[in-house]
Structure 1
Amino acid sequence: MEYEYIDTPGRLREVVDQLRNEPLLGADTEAAGYHRYFDRLSLVQLSSRERNYLVDPQAVTDLSPLGDLFADEGIEKIFHDADYDVRILDRDAGLAIANLFDTQVAAAFLGERQLGLGNIAEKYLGLKLPKEHQRADWGERPLTEGMKEYAATDTAHLPELRDRLRQELVTIGRLHWAEEEFRRREQTRWTEPDENARESWMKVKGARDLQPRGLAVLRELYEWREGVARELDRATFRVLGNQALIEMAMAPPRNFAALKGVTGLSDGLAQRRGRDILAAVSKAMEIADDELPRWPRSPRWERDVELEARVESLKNARNRRADELGLDPGFVMSRAQLEEVARARPRTTEELAAVTGVRRWQVEAVGDALLKGMR
């Protein structure tokens, strides 16, 4: 796979000038979040029909020249599952996308259920894409030649894949459905986590089963792990896995011998960090009983039998229509959307279209079936 690695601002500007007259570009990003504590944009891939480019954001810190290409309505930008790419480009580079074509969304409208790029490329192009660098650390430098070639391959085939999928959508009359979703995805932006949401340590699988003292141990160990991960710029699970935190919260270790046998806690980690782990546990054990964390009570939920019945009727109508269309029912309309429709109780397609979150293509695809289901 031939590609050019761009690591100077001057060359980036030159390449952008060369690509201004291209009708379409395949695009992708790589980030470091799987391996690093601080997730960051680590690579931007671009492909015309003839050339492939890899842009290194660590070397070219100002990616604003790419903004001209991404915002150009005359150039179609082809991503596969663009949601995260659009978010991270917005967060780390302030870039927005216009005239998007998402091959994953297109494939979903064709009834595909296996929506990974490898599955779609194999079915529609007869290509087997490499997988060996899917979990690579894209934050490391220098990138290996194998990593670079893998990254270039991710976008090199997107223009041809777009052609095949687009033609299939035109043939069955669903291109305008897909284009509505493309336009919605263009509006996606990075949003910071909700500070009022449940504290992160309470989301660890198994936390709900802990007693208050165990919750305190989990909280202190979780905060210890966050500090180490931040210090090392390493993903938290690469410091110590959640299962180890839960095990120690259920049976708090009080000495070094008790650390042996904890899932994922190696002898080396015990030697390097054991004193800090035991200090975190000790801190939790010293908290007064009336100050221990407790699982918040779930809000009282009053059942609405009539609403549930309407949702179930809508679900059945959606499922039948999705089967006729050969589409995944959850893709056609989510459970949350069905609940909104059930609450609104629309009587006409116009009223259905006015329900929060309902798309025009959904009204066209399943509107009549839903309205009958309401009746």
Structure 2
Amino acid sequence: MDHEYIERPERLASLVEELRGEPLLGVDTEAAGYHRFFDRMSLVQLSTRTANYLIDPFAAGELAPLGTLFHDPAVEKIFHDADYDLRILDRDAGLRLSGLFDTQIAAAFLGEKQLGLGSIVEKYLGLKLPKEFQRADWAERPLSAGMKEYAATDTAHLPDLRDRLRAALEERGRLHWAQEEFLRREQTRWTESDDTREAYMKVKGARDLTPRGLALLRELYAWREGVARERDQATFRVLGNQALLEMSASPPGGVRDLPSVTGLSEGLAQRRGRDIMEAVRRGLAVPEAELPRWPRSPRFERDLELEARVESLRDARTRVADQLGLDAGFLIPRATLEEIGKARPTTPEALAQVPGVRRWQVEAVGDTLLKTLRKK
């Protein structure tokens, strides 16, 4: 796939000027979060109908010049599943978007079940996309020729794919439905997690541990985070969760016991064994009264009438989804049905005011939901 690799600030600035008159651009980003501790945007791909560009943010510097294109609604930006791309563009470059066409959203409105880019491109364009660099470390430099080829391919077909999907949406009278979702997705911003639980408590399997085991897991988790940060390496590449859970449930007696832990190599035991055992000792030394414990789940009184109402709404939603050929959860998620069940709207206008309800949903399934509520 022919492409130009952009690694000079002055070339980035001139490219933006060249692309000002383009009606649309395919866009994608690559990040390094799978391999690295410090997730960072590592590549930006742009494609017109005739040319492909790879922008290296490590070499080209600030990406602010792209704002001229990204903020201009006259230049349609085509992404596939823009959610994470928009988050890291906001976080790492302060870039916001206007004029989005998201091919994943478009495909969902056409009733597609397989929403990956490869599946959609194969169905609508008859092309097979390469897969060999899906898990590549995009922060490494220099990028190999194969990685560059793969990255350029990710956006090269987006303009043609957009054309096919847009035509299909227009034919089925659903383009304005998709455009409402495009506008909503444009508002996607980077937000820090507001989960108040300690990070170590999110490890799958942590709930099976005793309070003492949780104390051990907390110390071992903190040790692993420190090593991963020091080496700028993804935590699972330092040591897997299974090893942490094993040592938390059954703490090793010394460095000599570490190689018997699942996934803990003899080399790691030799290099980091003392530090690991120090973390174990800290966990064992936590006083009984200070051991971490899971908070008690709040008790809720069941509202059987509401549950019955929501179940009726769910059945009505499923019938309409089948008629439209859409995934039922995409048509209206269950959480939104619960809000509708609580609000019990009686008119389309009142339904549109329920939190989470879109205008296109009122058009697509509103009458059926209101009739269901009247029957209940």
- TM above 0.5, yes or no, is yes
Residue 329 of structure 1: aligned partner: 328
What SS does the corresponding residue of 2:58 show, helix, strand or coil? coil
Cα offsets for 1:144-196 (capped at 9, x unmatched) = 010001000000000000000000000000000000000000011111121x5
The unaligned stretches of length 5 or more in structure 1 are none
CA-based RMSD of the aligned residues comes to: 0.8
Tell me by how many angstroms 1:287 deviates. Answer: 1.0
Tell me by how many angstroms 1:44 deviates. Answer: 0.3
State TM-score, norm by structure 1.
Answer: 0.99
What SS does the corresponding residue of 1:260 show, helix, strand or coil? helix
CA contact 1:5–1:55 (8 Å) conserved in 2: yes
Matched, 1:151 2:151: yes
Residue 99 of structure 2: aligned partner: 99
Residue 20 of structure 1: aligned partner: 20
CA contact 1:32–1:138 (8 Å) conserved in 2: yes
Cα offsets for 1:194-214 (capped at 9, x unmatched) = 1x5211110101111111100
> Structure 2 CA distance, aligned partners of 1:227 and 1:304?
47
Describe how 1:77-116 pairs up with structure 2 within 5 A: 77-116=77-116
What SS does the corresponding residue of 1:78 show, helix, strand or coil? strand
> Structure 1 CA distance, aligned partners of 2:257 and 2:302?
47
Residue 136 of structure 1: aligned partner: 136
Residue 225 of structure 1: aligned partner: 224
Tell me by how many angstroms 1:254 deviates. Answer: 1.8
Residue 11 of structure 2: aligned partner: 11
> Structure 2 CA distance, aligned partners of 1:124 and 1:261?
51
> Structure 2 CA distance, aligned partners of 1:213 and 1:183?
49
Residue 359 of structure 2: aligned partner: 360
Matched, 1:56 2:56: yes
> Structure 1 CA distance, aligned partners of 2:341 and 2:197?
28
What SS does the corresponding residue of 2:59 show, helix, strand or coil? coil
Residue 284 of structure 2: aligned partner: 285
Describe how 1:333-344 pairs up with structure 2 within 5 A: 333-344=332-343
> Structure 1 CA distance, aligned partners of 2:41 and 2:233?
15
What SS does the corresponding residue of 1:163 show, helix, strand or coil? helix
Residue 181 of structure 1: aligned partner: 181
Residue 245 of structure 1: aligned partner: 244
> Structure 2 CA distance, aligned partners of 1:273 and 1:335?
47
What SS does the corresponding residue of 1:58 show, helix, strand or coil? helix
> Structure 2 CA distance, aligned partners of 1:85 and 1:199?
27
Residue 207 of structure 1: aligned partner: 206
CA contact 1:254–1:281 (8 Å) conserved in 2: no
Query: Which range is displaced more, 304-313 or 45-54?
Result: 304-313
> Structure 2 CA distance, aligned partners of 1:290 and 1:99?
56
Tell me by how many angstroms 1:14 deviates. Answer: 1.1
Residue 43 of structure 2: aligned partner: 43
Cα offsets for 1:20-72 (capped at 9, x unmatched) = 00000000000000001110110000000000000000011211110000011
What SS does the corresponding residue of 2:120 show, helix, strand or coil? helix
What SS does the corresponding residue of 2:53 show, helix, strand or coil? strand
Query: Which range is displaced more, 249-258 or 276-285?
Result: 249-258
> Structure 2 CA distance, aligned partners of 1:254 and 1:295?
27
Tell me by how many angstroms 1:244 deviates. Answer: 0.9
> Structure 1 CA distance, aligned partners of 2:258 and 2:89?
42
Matched, 1:319 2:318: yes
What SS does the corresponding residue of 1:59 show, helix, strand or coil? helix
> Structure 2 CA distance, aligned partners of 1:279 and 1:68?
53
> Structure 2 CA distance, aligned partners of 1:232 and 1:120?
38
Cα offsets for 1:245-271 (capped at 9, x unmatched) = 111111111212321221211111111
Residue 310 of structure 1: aligned partner: 309
> Structure 1 CA distance, aligned partners of 2:196 and 2:308?
30
Query: Which range is displaced more, 108-117 or 295-304?
Result: 295-304
Tell me by how many angstroms 1:136 deviates. Answer: 0.2
Letter paired with 2:321: A
What SS does the corresponding residue of 1:67 show, helix, strand or coil? helix
Letter paired with 1:310: R
State TM-score, norm by structure 2.
Answer: 0.98
The unaligned stretches of length 5 or more in structure 2 are none
> Structure 2 CA distance, aligned partners of 1:243 and 1:372?
51
Residue 373 of structure 2: aligned partner: 374
> Structure 2 CA distance, aligned partners of 1:365 and 1:22?
34
Tell me by how many angstroms 1:335 deviates. Answer: 1.2
> Structure 2 CA distance, aligned partners of 1:296 and 1:21?
57
Letter paired with 1:219: R
